[in-house]
Amino acid sequence: MKQISAIIEQLDTRLAGKWPAAAGIRQFSYSLQKQPDTGLLEWLAAQPCYPKFYWQQRDGNEEAAVCGDAYSFGHIAQAQAFIRQFPDVPDLHIWGLNAFNGTADDASAANALFLPRIELCRQGNTWWLRCTLFSPYSLQDEARRTRLFLRSLVASRTLPPLTSHVLQHQHLPAESQWKALVERALSGIEQHQFDKVVLARKTTLTLSQPLNACAFLAASRSVNHHCYHFMLAFTAQQAFLGSSPERLFLRDNTELYTEALAGTVANHPDDQQAQALGDWLLSDGKNQRENLLVVDDICQRLQGGAHSLDVTPAEVLRLRKVQHLRRNIHGELTGPDDAGCLQRLQPTAAVAGLPRQAARKFIAEFEPFDREWYAGSAGYLSAEQSEFTVALRSAMVKGHHLELYAGAGIVAGSDAAQEWLEIENKAAGLRTLLEEHYTPAVQAG
């Protein structure tokens, strides 16, 4: 990427000048004249700095690789306040993750949002590099630190092949525990404690060698289409990543786009059989009820914050391993409030349940692991536009271990064995990248 190297040299020259020994913010943007020689994920993988974040919008039109930590935020409200503090710097973007419980006051520090020093971005066929300096104390010191950071950046290189293979796996809960957990949830539904609760499973894979997170995400991106692809690498050995089909929300000024993605059946490589499964999904009462519960909850939660809500008819979203029911929801916000949108929408009924607080209480009490980033959200916020995906079909890379997450919505009439097959199919979207001959059971309609 010679043109990127040339831009870095220009930046270094500009930063070598005199800077005030006072608080401040500066931003520099450069257009790339042509498409880089290698992809953004390959460039990001080569960089030795952390944190680093990768994002690709599910239509493939937007992509970003960002790294370096100019400033970090423990809560989206802090990030939003920061952006509003600098209206004369319109391109401030803050990237990262919101934890499943990250909207609660007592869990604010669980979030990982940061203002990067360097952003390499693409929209359509337009490419640019953006550098941001910020210091609450001294821009002079920040310019010096940024010059050292720029000199640490290296040329892109090809991602290594996936050579890790699975030595063993452990489900939490195990299948017998899952059955008992579902029965407990159904009992709660029967006793009118809640209408729906989404139960999750964590599968820990022990690997033959440490997994390269960027290479793993690249493999997922190549086969899991119609998904958001994201990764936050905390260190060289630890990263959270995923290929999620679900939008939490897109805010374009005051226009809001969200969706209800709930109701699942297996996919099939044969188009006719996949169509038959999809048709069954559209007509199945249990899955339709599950989806409409999510729609109703979203619309209720947006009351007071958005108006003119429009809900589209149900459609089938076909993914590599599963198919989902989806209804799109569009509305006009009373104001451009990303923190408010997150508070209202995360976690949705599709990942927690209904009523939300009762379902979250059940999850906290009986689910045998902490979800952390799983079923939270990943994305960015800025003054004009913000977008977050629900962190589904996700995994935590921890050296020789890979933790896979998947969940299923439990409503009246749910069957524990069928729900186990559903999470097997969902987890297979990532697991099969390492286990070529692993085939989850087919979930029939």
Helix/strand/coil percentages in the chain, nearest 5: 30, 35, 35
Q: Is 42 a catalytic residue?
A: no
- State the Cα–Cα distance between residues 418 and 321, nearest whole angstrom: 15
> Any known ligand binding at 290?
yes
Which of 58, 51, 384, 54 has its CA nearest to residue 248? 58
> Any known ligand binding at 175?
no
- State the Cα–Cα distance between residues 155 and 38, nearest whole angstrom: 10
Name the token pair of 393: 């079909």
Q: How far apart are the first and last CA of the chain?
A: 50
Catalytic residue, from 42, 246, 387, 403: name it: 246
- State the Cα–Cα distance between residues 216 and 212, nearest whole angstrom: 6
Q: Dihedrals φ, ψ of 195, to 5°?
A: -95, -25
Rg (CA), the chain: 22
Name the token pair of 403: 């933790």
Catalytic residue, from 52, 119, 142, 196: name it: 196
Buried b (16+ CB within 10 A) or exposed e, 273-284: ebeebbeebbee
Q: Is 246 a catalytic residue?
A: yes
- State the Cα–Cα distance between residues 211 and 164, nearest whole angstrom: 6
Active site residues: 196, 246
Annotated binding site for Mg(2+): 290, 422
